[in-house]
């Protein structure tokens, strides 16, 4: 029983992490209808920034996380302005080729700069070790993940529903033509959103070094996970991807814990089945 609860909480923690990593993609893919297979590359960039600052420059953990977020967001903003903006409305084949190309270039750059090996980080003392709580063992870092990512999710939800920027984004996505006609700077809203999504991916990548690992293959290795979150969660709200990510995290951790011989097959099967059962999770908004 205690083991089951530990697995459940570990699953929730990795699901939260997945949410932060993939929520940006649910905007680009689900709302802006751009097949961005390179989303994970921003997570990888954040991860490397964190590793370099933490292990080589001796910067503390929390400022490293902030820097990872900012660098990934800045990179996302630049790439959106220079390249992605040309691909809006183009056919899917162009978008697929472009984003695979971007993954290859960034992977090769990471390999060249940092080497192909797995990167490791030393967590600060207050985040390492486990705590016992009513007989249930739980890693401190997992608790930290749940709290931080939960706060991010709540902030995003609040931001989308309550703030002016959230209202503008929803308007721009609902009907870009009308929004433009009303004088909303749709292009700028999209590029800010893209930067925000990339920054969150960077944060997720930095947080995930300890849990998911980090090497130049990261963007492709976890691509399917990001796509599942978007496909299952839909793009109507922050809540959809959030629930999807947590489900996926629990399923993944439980699968690895209880049926390790099946491996990643569980996730791929889940993805295909869910895509078939709920194709509208993916496209509900983009179509309207």
Partner 1 sequence: MRVLLHAVPWLAAIAAYFLMPERLPLLSSIAIAALFTVSLDLIVGYAGVVTLGQAAFFGAGAYTAGLLAQNGWGEPLSGLLAAAAVAAVLGLVTAPLVLRSGALAGLMVTLGLGLMLYEAANKAAAITGGADGLQGVEVWPVLGVFRFDLYGQTAYLYSLAVLFVLFWLAKLIVASPYGLSLRGINGNPRRAPALGVPVKTRLTVAYALAAAYAGVAGALLAQTTAFVSLDALSFQRSADGLLMLVLGGLGSLYGALIGAAAFTLAHHALSEASPIFWQFWLGIALIALALYGRGGLMGLLRKLMPRGAGS
The residues in 9-38 that bind partner 1, with binding defined as CB under 8 A, are 29, 33, 35
Nearer to partner 1, 86 or 162 (CB): 86
Q: To the nearest whole angstrom, how small is the minimum distance from the Cβ of residue 3 to partner 1?
A: 25
- Using only C-alpha atoms, the chain has a radius of gyration, in whole angstroms, of 19
b/e burial code for range 31-48 (CB count within 10 A of at least 16 → b)? bbbbbbbbbbbbbbbbbb
Nearer to partner 1, 64 or 119 (CB): 119
Q: Does 265 bind partner 1 (CB under 8 A)?
A: yes
Q: To the nearest whole angstrom, how small is the minimum distance from the Cβ of residue 141 to partner 1?
A: 28
Q: To the nearest whole angstrom, how small is the minimum distance from the Cβ of residue 1 to partner 1?
A: 30
Residue 231 to residues 83, 167, 179, 200, 275, Cα–Cα distance (Å) = 24, 23, 26, 19, 6
> Cβ distance 187 to 177 under 8 Å?
no
Give one DSSP letter per residue of 157-182, joined into a string. HHHHHHSHHHHHHHHHHH-HHHHHHT
Please tell me the count of residues contacting partner 1 according to CB under 8 A: 47
Looking up tokens 């089945």 gives 273
Q: Pattern of binders to partner 1 over 223-262, x per CB under 8 A?
A: xx--x---x-----------------------------xx
Selected from 3, 86, 155, 167, the binder of partner 1 by CB under 8 A is 86
Q: To the nearest whole angstrom, how small is the minimum distance from the Cβ of residue 50 to partner 1?
A: 22
User: Could you tell me which of 108, 104, 78, 275 has the C-alpha nearest to residue 194?
Assistant: 78
Selected from 87, 201, 207, 247, the binder of partner 1 by CB under 8 A is 87
Residue 103 CA to residue 17 CA, distance in Å, equals 21
For strands 136-139 and 130-133, give the pairing.
Answer: antiparallel
Selected from 60, 124, 185, 263, the binder of partner 1 by CB under 8 A is 263
HSE-up of residue 188 (Cα within 13 Å, Cβ side): 6
Footprint on this chain of partner 1 (rule: CB under 8 A): 29, 33, 35, 83, 86-87, 91-98, 100-109, 111-112, 220, 223-224, 227, 231, 261-265, 268-269, 271-272, 275-276, 279, 282-283, 286-287
């Amino acid at each position: 029983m205690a083991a089951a609860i530990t697995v459940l909480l570990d699953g929730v923690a990795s699901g939260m992490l997945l949410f932060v990593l993939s929520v940006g993609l649910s905007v680009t893919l689900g709302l802006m209808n751009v097949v961005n297979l390179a989303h994970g590359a921003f997570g990888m960039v954040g991860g490397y920034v964190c590793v370099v600052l933490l292990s080589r420059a001796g910067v503390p953990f929390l400022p490293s996380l902030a820097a990872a977020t900012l660098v990934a967001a800045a990179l996302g903003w630049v790439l959106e302005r220079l390249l992605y903006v040309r691909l809006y409305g183009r056919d899917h084949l162009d978008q697929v080729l472009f984003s695979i190309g971007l993954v290859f270039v960034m992977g090769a750059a990471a390999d060249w700069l940092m080497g192909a090996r797995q990167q490791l980080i030393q967590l600060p003392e207050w985040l390492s070790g486990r705590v016992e709580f009513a007989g249930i063992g739980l890693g401190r870092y997992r608790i930290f993940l749940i709290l931080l990512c939960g706060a991010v999710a709540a902030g995003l939800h609040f931001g989308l529903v309550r703030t002016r920027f959230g209202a503008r984004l929803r308007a721009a996505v609902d009907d870009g033509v009308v929004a433009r006609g009303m004088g909303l700077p749709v292009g700028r809203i999209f590029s800010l959103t893209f930067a925000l999504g990339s920054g969150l991916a960077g944060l997720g990548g930095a947080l995930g070094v300890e849990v998911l690992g980090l090497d130049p293959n990261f963007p492709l290795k976890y691509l399917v996970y990001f796509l599942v979150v978007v496909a299952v969660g839909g793009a109507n709200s922050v809540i959809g991807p959030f629930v999807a990510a947590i489900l996926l995290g629990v399923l993944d951790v439980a699968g690895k814990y209880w049926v390790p011989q099946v491996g990643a097959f569980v996730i791929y099967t889940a993805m295909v089945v869910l895509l078939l059962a709920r194709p509208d999770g993916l496209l509900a908004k983009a179509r309207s």
